[in-house]
Amino acid sequence: MVRLAARAITGIATAGLAASLIVSLAAAEPVAYTVDKSHSSIFFSVQHLGFSTIHGHFSDYDADIVLDEDNLANSKAKITINMGSLDTFCDPRTEHLKTADFFDVEKFPKATFVSKTFKKTGDDTVAVTGDLTLHGKTKEVTLDFTVKKVGQNPMAKVKAIGLVGTTTLLRIDMELDQKQ
């Protein structure tokens, strides 16, 4: 599993991508993985004025991930999110977040994360630093991943990696302040 967590919408928000990665190309060096979308999600939570926590997810995304377990410096990742696939489980709020007041999905239909570096930070943790482009702004962020499991997927009969990752953003960093 991979979970991205990002602070973004109302001052503090947490977003997550949960993904099982399955090998799509067998090789001794860097290996390309595909995201198993049936076992994955990109989600977020936002503190709403200190009164409650709003949860949501993005249902349409792609990820290209190449991992070199022997030399993480050779690894790379690119994640693209269709911002129009935002859902907060409350239609009026979801539609408002898609407007120019917040994400402006008509003008900025995609968000991307492109890795620059992978760094092992512990026995089962990796920090992936890269550029997040959201709402027309690019900011360097670090996704902190915990490796849940590496091994043979018993269903697909291929090597798979389960990861959970998080990061935090402030909405002001991406100029997501609601228009007054």
Please give the average per-residue pLDDT across 143-170, as a whole number.
85
Q: Read off the DSSP letter of residue 169.
A: B
Quick check: 136 and 176 in contact, CB under 8 A? no
Q: pLDDT tens for residues 23-66? A: 444 445 788 888 888 888 888 888 888 888 889 999 999 998 99
Q: Is the pLDDT of residue 177 over 50?
A: yes
Residue 28 structure tokens: 């001794």
14: pLDDT confidence band, cut at 50, 70 and 90? very low
Residue 85 main-chain phi, psi, to 5 deg: -90, 10
Residue 24 main-chain phi, psi, to 5 deg: -110, -5
Q: pLDDT tens for residues 110-131? A: 999 999 999 999 999 999 999 9
| Cα–Cα nearest to 8, from 118, 86, 79 | 86
> What CATH number has the domain bearing residue 23?
2.40.128.110
b vs e for 25-49, b when ≥16 Cβ sit within 10 Å of the residue's Cβ?
A: eeeeebbebbbbeebbbbbbbbbee
Structural domain contains residue 62: yes
Q: What gap in Å lies between CA 93 and CA 24, rounded to an integer?
A: 38
The parent domain of residue 155 ranges over 12-174
The domain total for the chain is 1
| Cα–Cα nearest to 9, from 52, 61, 40, 59 | 52
Triad 25, 21, 152: Cα angle to 5°: 75
Q: Could you tell me the maximum CA-CA distance found in the chain, to the nearest angstrom?
A: 55
Q: Give the number of other CB atoms < 10 A from CB of residue 154.
A: 7
Q: Give the number of other CB atoms < 10 A from CB of residue 156.
A: 12
**With pLDDT > 90 as the criterion, what percentage of the chain qualifies?**
42
**With pLDDT > 70 as the criterion, what percentage of the chain qualifies?**
80
Whether pTM exceeds 0.85:
no
